[in-house]
Amino acid sequence: GESVGLHLPTLSVQEGDNSIINCAYSNSASDYFIWYKQESGKGPQFIIDIRSNMDKRQGQRVTVLLNKTVKHLSLQIAATQPGDSAVYFCAETYITGANSKLTFGKGITLSVRP
Amino acid sequence: NAGVTQTPKFRVLKTGQSMTLLCAQDMNHEYMYWYRQDPGMGLRLIHYSVGEGTTAKGEVPDGYNVSRLKKQNFLLGLESAAPSQTSVYFCASRVGHHTDTQYFGPGTRLTVL
């Protein structure tokens, strides 16, 4: 079946460095993607989203890149801070409207070294 | 504006007991969702609602029931809890059909002994 997955279960980065979190999706019909951040003991928090008609979208310190050719999504975090330590999920959907449902990846842990 | 809230935050049940988890949102969102999160499994959709008085099954609906009597509330019920229902439960809401972004509550950690 269709699935959204992440290449690495954990990522350790030095404070101040840039982080890149990758996600592969298998449904070529997916047209909307979201990145969520989940801190320990909390619910997923929306970070940034992108539609399939875009290749790149920037937010505050974060950039999402979409490569539809290879079905790959990445989240770039600039100048990573200790507060960025969390689990990051990508999610995708290919059904719009009322029955739109998100399919989530299993998550990757970002650990920021001081 | 509290966003999405969930009660209780923690609960321990014995096998066979019943309980109801409450989700409330004050953003006037049309759609609401219940997920469970288990280690290594990611978020899985249990049930969802596209409006007051409507509910639909998600990926893992067995053993759960839901109700959406008021637009702002979405209740998740366990009629006879089983150890397999030990999990963290998250509620989410979404504005409406024109946007896909879902906003999550803080979660309820449920343990069934």
Render A34-66 in DSSP notation, one character per residue. EEEEE-TTS--EEEEEEETT-SEEE-SSEEEEE
Specify the pLDDT at position A2.
Answer: 37
Is A85 a residue whose pLDDT tops 90? yes
For A49-55, what is the mean pLDDT? 94
Specify the pLDDT at position A6.
Answer: 44
For chain A, the residues whose C-beta falls within 8 A of a C-beta of chain B are 32, 34, 36, 41-46, 49, 89, 93, 96-102, 104-107
Q: How confident is the model at residue A8 (pLDDT cuts 50, 70, 90)?
A: very low
Strand B31-38 and strand A45-51: pairing?
unpaired
Specify the pLDDT at position A1.
Answer: 32
Identify residue A70 by its one-letter amino acid code: V
For A81-96, what is the mean pLDDT? 90
Specify the pLDDT at position A3.
Answer: 44
Residue-wise pLDDT tens digits, B42-72:
899 999 999 999 999 999 999 999 999 999 9
User: Are B97 and A98 a contacting pair, CB within 8 Å?
Assistant: yes
Name residues of chain B where pLDDT drops below 70: none
- Provide the token pair at B44: 């899985």
B82 CA: distance to closest CA in chain A (Å):
23
Cβ pairs A/B, distance under 8 A: 51
Between B27 and A101, the higher pLDDT residue:
B27
Identify residue A67 by its one-letter amino acid code: N
Specify the pLDDT at position A99.
Answer: 75
Q: Which of A80, A89, A90 has the alpha carbon at shortest distance from A113?
A: A80
Residue A84 main-chain phi, psi, to 5 deg: -85, -10
A7 secondary structure, DSSP code: S
A35 CA: distance to closest CA in chain B (Å):
10
Between B23 and A108, the higher pLDDT residue:
B23
CB contact under 8 A, B42 and A98: no
Residue holding tokens 């988890």? B21
